[in-house]
């Protein structure tokens, strides 16, 4: 992770600033000294897992706001909400007068991020990777940005051991269970999760098989694709807006009804941030998911 000292950059002449911009490759940032950002006391966390990590590090008193995905722990909800991570408004973020933005990779839209990067506020880019190693890297990145590397190293070591244990517990219990993660059922159209997604990542950690891993990202499935996937179970986020509040609603879909999951009425619903957040609670989520999937094999 690299840190951008926007306040120092703002003092450069236009010519020098343009030269720096030309030299920095896309996705890279200008390195600033740790003291430039680690002492920040007015911090906005963008990304639910980022906020959870800040709390897990005991640095929550430095937070002044968070994004709308930051709903855990419950105390986070008392902080001002600056908007959804993928639909940020620069005005909303800057209205709380932050000194540092902890911004999870994938925040957007890009236009808003570009404005924030020119605002004079320091930004710490937090990497996102849907794996156990990715969680550890995320913790270390947040710890570096906050200047609490020792606490981050201790938390990272604890989480690494817990994640290893959770995967070992799940090993063999869920092998061969085909899972279809359904993101949305709006209008009767099934939007499912392929590879390189948070859902695919958590299924791998739990030892199960993504029924539609042949495509990347999220995709609307045809009836033929659903039948071909032949999932043993459907996995969904437990939230409103899915238009399938229970198994009866979900399996009223003609194609889903003909799958092994539909014939056996197998639906698992879990909290979205808990299941897909890839943060301090992921080991617990792995155990929870693996336990429910293991019941299918018994």
Per-residue pLDDT tens for 179-224? 999 999 999 999 999 999 999 999 999 999 999 999 999 999 999 9
Mean pLDDT value of segment 224-235: 98
CA 145 to chain centre: 18
Q: Where are the domains of the chain?
A: 3-164, 178-297
Q: What is the pLDDT of residues 91-135, one digit of tens each?
A: 999 999 999 999 999 999 999 999 999 999 999 999 999 999 999
Residues 213, 87: Cα–Cα separation, whole Å? 27
pLDDT of 297 over the 90 cut: no
Residues 195, 215: Cα–Cα separation, whole Å? 6
Residues 72, 17: Cα–Cα separation, whole Å? 39
Residues 270, 250: Cα–Cα separation, whole Å? 15
For 185-292, strand residue ranges (E) read: 190-193, 209-210, 218-221, 233-237, 267-270
Sign, CA dihedral 239-240-244-249, equals positive
CATH class of the region 3-164: alpha beta
Percent of the chain at pLDDT > 90 equals: 81
Is domain 178-297 in CATH 3.40.50.1000, yes or no?
no
Residue 281 zone, left/alpha/beta (φ > 0; ψ -120 to 50; rest): alpha
143 confidence band (pLDDT: 50, 70, 90):
very high
Residues 124, 45: Cα–Cα separation, whole Å? 10
Residues 242, 201: Cα–Cα separation, whole Å? 21
- In the DSSP assignment, the letter for residue 265 is T
pTM of the model: 0.86
Question: Is the separation of the CB atoms in 82 and 92 below 8 Å?
Answer: yes
The pLDDT, as a whole number, for residue 64 is 98
Q: 89 burial class (0-12, 13-18, 19+ CB within 10 angstroms)? A: middle
Cβ-based neighbours of 298, under 8 Å, separated by 6 or more: none
Helix spans in 171-259 (H): 198-205, 223-229, 247-250, 254-257
* Fold match, 3-164 / 178-297: yes
Q: 213 burial class (0-12, 13-18, 19+ CB within 10 angstroms)? A: middle
């Amino acid at each position: 992770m690299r840190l951008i000292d926007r306040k120092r950059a703002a003092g450069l002449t236009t010519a020098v600033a343009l030269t720096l911009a030309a030299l920095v490759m896309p996705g890279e940032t200008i390195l600033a000294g740790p003291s430039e950002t680690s002492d920040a006391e007015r911090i906005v966390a963008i990304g639910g897992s980022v906020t959870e990590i800040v709390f897990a590090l005991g640095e929550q008193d430095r937070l002044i706001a968070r994004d709308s995905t930051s709903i855990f722990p419950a105390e986070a909800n008392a902080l001002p909400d600056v908007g959804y991570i993928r639909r940020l408004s620069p005005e909303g973020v800057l209205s709380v007068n932050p000194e540092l933005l902890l911004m999870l990779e994938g925040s957007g839209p890009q236009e808003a991020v570009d404005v924030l990067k020119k605002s004079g506020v320091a930004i710490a880019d937090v990497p996102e990777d849907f794996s156990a190693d990715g969680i550890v890297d995320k913790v270390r990145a947040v710890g570096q940005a906050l200047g609490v590397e020792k606490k981050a190293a201790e938390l990272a070591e604890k989480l690494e051991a817990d994640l290893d244990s959770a995967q070992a517990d799940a090993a063999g219990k869920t092998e061969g269970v085909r899972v279809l993660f359904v993101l949305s059922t709006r209008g009767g159209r099934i939007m499912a999760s392929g590879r390189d997604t948070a859902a695919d990542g958590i299924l791998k950690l739990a030892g199960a098989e993504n029924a539609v891993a042949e495509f990347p990202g999220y995709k609307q499935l045809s009836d033929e694709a659903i039948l071909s996937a032949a999932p043993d179970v459907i996995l969904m986020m437990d939230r409103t807006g899915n238009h399938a509040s229970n198994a009866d609603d979900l399996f009223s879909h003609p194609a889903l009804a003909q799958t092994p999951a539909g014939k056996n009425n197998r639906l698992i619903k879990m909290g979205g941030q808990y299941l897909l957040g890839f943060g301090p609670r992921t080991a617990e989520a792995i155990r929870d998911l693996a336990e429910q999937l293991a019941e299918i094999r018994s």
